[in-house]
Chains A and B, each alone.
Chain A
């Protein structure tokens, strides 16, 4: 059995606690990196990170890109979406196909 973790600033993630996820409020990305590392070792299959925090820890997140768990997924924080999640999707399209054929119009 696996768990779901959420990392981000307190205001953005408190709500997720009520629907049964484990929340880890952090203030900056170095703290978040440490927690992410811990969660990866423990039994977390999915870790959601707010884009606000994630934007400064790309390397730490990319480390888990090619392993099956945990799936690190970016979510918008309460300051709105920064579009990083979409950009990452675009990046993996570019990685696979060599050209961006999905977001051309965007």
Chain B
């Protein structure tokens, strides 16, 4: 592992030690964040998978009925029937905060002009057309689509949430890995290098002192001459 390019001094080592402590703490926090995000993400994705299966099934059914209707009705009649929708959907987007990831929350309100009680108006009245000129397969298709609407919105919400979470997890994972495998080893290595260097200097100093002492003794007592 590469070591940082620093002067091997006590000052520098103290600084590095501080940095290492911060890095370790950051690493731990980010790791916790990643684990928690992962937990949420898995829940969202499981739900997402279920929803997608359900929506795809519903829409396929709706398409089938629609195709049959399409076959029995002429194109202009069909287009005329669907030209002016009765129901409008108002979609409201709020935001929610999931582990500091901002995710959308969709809520919607459909406005179906309720028909009078007198003509037996009920909640089925989403059809923008009269029943005389259209095929009943179209009704079936409409009904399926209408029942798919809440699920489709929920799907949109959870799919977007999953995408945003995935992005955040990827980013957090990168940071965790960078700290764990690059920065922290680098710091520990550098600190070790400085410690060794300092110790080496210390040893060098001691030997030098011993040598000087020997030389001084030699000078005062002239051991060699007496032998």
Contact = CB atoms under 8 A, between A and B. Distances in A.
Nearest to B70: A11
Contacts, number: 134
B82 to A, nearest CB: 5
B60 A76 contact: yes
Contacts of A3: 89, 91
| Top-4 shortest CB links A-B | A20-B89, A71-B160, A96-B166, A78-B63
B20 interface: no
Interface of B: 38, 41-42, 45-46, 48-49, 52, 55-56, 59-60, 62-63, 66-67, 70, 78-79, 82, 85-93, 95, 102-104, 106, 110, 126-128, 141-142, 145-146, 149, 152-153, 155-157, 159-160, 162-167, 169-170, 173
Contact residues of A: prevailing secondary structure:
mixed
A12 B162 CA distance: 26
Contact residues of B: prevailing secondary structure:
helix
B161 to A, nearest CB: 9
Contact of A66 (B128, B142, B167): B167
Given A4-B91, A18-B145, A95-B167, 8 more contacts: A11-B67, A15-B66, A75-B55, A80-B60, A81-B56, A95-B166, A95-B169, A102-B42
Nearest to B52: A85
Given A12-B63, A71-B156, A102 B106 contact: no
B202 to A, nearest CB: 47
